[in-house]
Chains A and B, each alone.
Chain A
């Protein structure tokens, strides 16, 4: 299984890194995060922390990640290569995991590019590196969840743009929408909606708070969306 997943991951990475869209997304992402970094984080007198930067990045990735993952399965549907893939000696799970790992590696590379901000931050202020590291771990977990949602959306349709919209929409529901709803409703609703609010769960990582609830949430949610993706892929066989 591992060999198959690795082979699929390589194929996915090749497709991604040879696609100019990934570089465009990465460049736009870095310009935007750079703007936020200079505007809100690297301000004399402010706390030397990546918290605000990571929170802003999490917000931006709601739209960026679906753009990265939109082609993972939709393109296979559109070009018909999905049939080849389905008849190849790989399981649906291997296909989904391969796609997921491929997208996650690219996401990690994107994150790696933002470490330049950490360097600048530590140059101008003695930021707590344990908090920074924990924040980046959280970012990786958040990225994994976003990617799994993006791939799930991509499995639903052969149209890449639609897949991106569905992915961003789903992520929007579990972030911006529930956040706004919690603000409006307040009280007990705020607590209940907080359980499914991805950004709210992510905050702990940016603050340097280790909480097993957050870890479980991100890992289980990622697994759940990957499971749903597998089920969607499986459904092609019996529909």
Chain B
């Protein structure tokens, strides 16, 4: 018992000891776990994070950090990149961007990133954006609701008018007789259809689901209403004119109706009097045909005069009431050879009179000749002509009496419609409603949603919402094409791209959160107004190689980057646009057009306004007053004479100013062109068509304007060298931004050399290889420089000079780039050019801290020969693992023995 009792006690003790130790262990583990959490929590609060990579590829740039720190509002980012398991590149794009956003959210908790990876998530995003930013469109919605109601009313009203008009057309009404009334009916019918179509279009633009395009919808509505209003006013004007005619012709004592009847009668009587002179067609030939003919000729002149008098009376009627000419009885069908044409009654009469007057001389000539046969024949002809004239007189009589009858008889329906038109009450109420709604639409505020609706449909976008604004950053901004293509046979989608998310996204946030514009960009151009009168053989005056109308893409991108763009035509306005308070101005001078070659026939033509010293002085004065100017120069080609002639490059308009004041010469007689050297022959090269238009612009210096673009593709066109004078004017400092290197791939060809090159390219025997002795000049060529000027310790202006100004034209920035290689491949248009301009504007305004760093030029794997690649595979996959495995195998063998 005792033993049993002891054993039991011992068991209890062991159990309680186990429990106690177990509890201790549990507490220790829980404590350790808590400690683990605590340590990590503390580490997350007081952490140090540094990018130790020498190129800083994965971290945020200092600019981005500054942008985020300055921003007070929360930033909501939606990354809309749909995963595609089969597309390796897409996975790379997604993970790289996610990495970047991780950095962003780690740096600043204001940034909230959501990944939109499925269609349903995308729909949710669209719906949310629509709700958030759609609520600001209340005024638009109200305007569109008003439009819908007005559209419906207009259609009903027009439908009623159409029915009434059609009834007039079908019966023998006063109005229905006028063909112009048929066109009025057609206009009404067309307007009903147009309103229906516009209504459908507006509904399509403002769907219940998705993002409504209120801006576009209201514009569409406004355009539709404007058309209808124009037509209504035109119809009223036409009917009002007809009404005046009707007032005159339907009164009982209308002098014009009487006139028409008199003319009808007199015409017939005049022609009948002519017949008496020659007799009937079948009458016997008189003994003295000459006497009859003489009588005919003399009488003909009188009849002609009489007819002309009648014509004048008819014309007077037509002048007073032009609408009468629209009446079908105002004109007759006439056979003119094989053609049937309409001739007005007055013309028929005038032609008859004129014929008779001219016939007199012919007849008198015949009488003088005394030839009996000819006289007999002439008499027969006169008789025949009389018959024709009688017929015409008959037709005129019928027409004029019909016209008089038609015009003087008015029906009630026509009268009612004409009265309404005359009193402007036909469409007055509707026109008033249209005007009111148009005014309402004009006063609508600009929508923040803007063009987001369309952009949201694109693949691979980032949507940023902050400060009550929304912005879509597209794929090409985040992933621009890299400067070199690794695989020339790659397809379009495989074009090598580089990550530019840091610059693109921070620029977007910066533009959205900045209160005012960074600067006012004054696009300065020389476009004289067209002369009042211009000789039809005189060609239009020459346009600038970079006309202001070709800069809409540049404007759009500058505005998106938060610059204000203002136009200044120095041909019409001598003073610059007034600067905005607190906003620096930068003048962007477009290349002025050259004067037109002298016109050998244009002595009487007033000379066109030509760009000259007075215009250069305007810019010089601005610079002397410490302004900032970006000069766009370019290589250009023009005909040397009025009739063409050999091509020539006119001197750059601002050349003398830059040469004298800044020591910079724009050598636009040379075009810098990319060539591929022909290694088999001396002084020989090939022209690469793609690179002739899209020349890679390698050679950015460390200047802050161009340095960020080192890692991206940069394509330019029509570049010419800028020559920096060895001795610069006092106080001027010049720094190159883009220096095309001294390479076999770049030549600066003069116009004569270019012509020679083109001729040789076209020669089939050359097989594309062009030999030139001496060869065209090689680089280095400066194509973009900056210059600063100071005097007495004060700044006296800052300029940037670009010699490839044509590279920002719309047609260049919108044209996809043809990829090289065997397969047809299109790459995105070279919009990176605009980034350089934006950077230059930041530099000019002294805001270099806003210049983005651009894509980081990370080191890349060099090309590997396929034989080397095979050998490497064998080594890495087999040899190296075998070498590591071998000791194990030996060991196993030794131990077995």
Contact = CB atoms under 8 A, between A and B. Distances in A.
Contacts of B884: 23, 26-27, 30, 113
A220 B36 contact: yes
A231 B28 CA distance: 9
Contacts of B29: 227-228, 231
B20 to A, nearest CB: 9
Contacts of A209: 49-52, 58-59, 103
Contacts of A17: 891
A77 interface: no
Nearest to B858: A47
B40 A22 contact: no
Interface in A121-172: 121, 124-128, 130-131, 134
Interface string A167-203: 0000000000000000000110001000100000001
A21 to B, nearest CB: 9
Interface string B24-47: 010011001100100110011011
B877 A38 contact: yes
Contacts of B873: 38
Interface stretch (A4-12, A60-68, A91-99, A210-218): A210-218
State the main secondary structure of chain B at its contact with A.
helix
A15 interface: no
A38 B55 contact: no
Contacts of A48: 858-861
Contact of A187 (B114, B486, B895): B114
Interface string B841-864: 000000000000000001111111
A173 to B, nearest CB: 15
B857 to A, nearest CB: 11
Contact of B58 (A26, A126, A208, A231): A208
Contacts of A34: 876-877, 880-881
Contacts of B887: 23
Nearest to B50: A210
A27 B885 contact: yes
B856 to A, nearest CB: 10
A131 B53 contact: yes
B859 A128 contact: yes
B496 interface: yes
B529 interface: no
Contacts of A18: 891, 895
A191 B22 CA distance: 35
Nearest to B888: A23
Interface residues of B, number: 58
A234 interface: yes
B58 A23 contact: no
Nearest to A46: B861
Contacts of B18: 238-239
Contacts of B36: 220-221, 224
Contacts of A203: 99
Nearest to A34: B876
Contact of B861 (A23, A28, A44): A44
Nearest to B863: A44
Contacts of B114: 186-187
Interface string A15-52: 00110101110111011001101100111111111000
A69 to B, nearest CB: 18
Nearest to B490: A45
Contacts of B52: 130-131, 134, 208-210
Interface residues of A, number: 62
A116 interface: yes
Contact of A211 (B47, B57, B858): B47
Contacts of B51: 208-210
Interface string B97-141: 001000101000000001100000000000000000000000000
A234 B25 contact: yes
A216 B888 contact: no
Contacts of A113: 880, 884
A212 B52 CA distance: 13
A207 B55 CA distance: 11
A43 B25 CA distance: 52
A117 interface: yes
Contacts of A195: 40, 44
Nearest to A33: B876
B892 interface: yes
A128 B33 contact: no
A206 to B, nearest CB: 9
A42 B25 contact: no
A213 B47 contact: yes
A1 interface: no
A178 to B, nearest CB: 15
A227 B876 contact: no
Interface string B453-478: 00000000000000000000000000
B876 A211 contact: no
Nearest to A186: B115
Nearest to B496: A45
Contact of A125 (B46, B54, B859, B888): B859
A238 B21 contact: yes
A187 B121 CA distance: 12
A2 interface: no
Contact of A44 (B21, B53, B862): B862
B25 A124 contact: no
A87 interface: no
B599 to A, nearest CB: 57
Contacts of B115: 186
A31 B883 CA distance: 11
A223 B876 CA distance: 35
Contacts of A231: 25, 28-29
A79 interface: no
B40 A117 contact: no
Contacts of A31: 877-878, 881
B655 to A, nearest CB: 42
Nearest to B116: A186
B40 A216 contact: yes
Contacts of B486: 44-45
A42 to B, nearest CB: 6
Interface string B663-698: 000000000000000000000000000000000000
B889 interface: yes
A117 B19 CA distance: 54
A44 B49 CA distance: 31
B101 to A, nearest CB: 11
A216 B43 contact: yes
Contacts of A117: 876
A23 B892 CA distance: 10
A23 B40 contact: no
A125 to B, nearest CB: 4
B881 A30 contact: yes
A146 to B, nearest CB: 17
B874 to A, nearest CB: 10
B876 A38 contact: yes
B73 interface: no
A15 to B, nearest CB: 12
A17 B55 CA distance: 41
B17 interface: yes
Given A23-B884, A34-B876, A42-B872, A208 B861 contact: no
A215 B889 CA distance: 38
Contacts of B54: 128, 130-131
B372 interface: no
Contacts of A227: 29, 32
Most chain B CB within a 10 A radius of its CB, from A22, A28, A187, A220: A220
19 contacts: A20-B891, A24-B885, A37-B876, A42-B872, A44-B860, A45-B860, A125-B860, A125-B862, A130-B54, A209-B58, A210-B48, A211-B50, A213-B43, A213-B47, A217-B43, A220-B36, A220-B40, A231-B29, A238-B18
What are the 3 A-B residue pairs with the smallest beta carbon separation, nearest first?
Answer: A23-B888, A45-B486, A208-B53
Given A20-B892, A31-B881, A209-B59, 10 more contacts: A23-B885, A31-B877, A44-B861, A186-B114, A213-B47, A217-B43, A227-B29, A228-B32, A231-B25, A234-B25
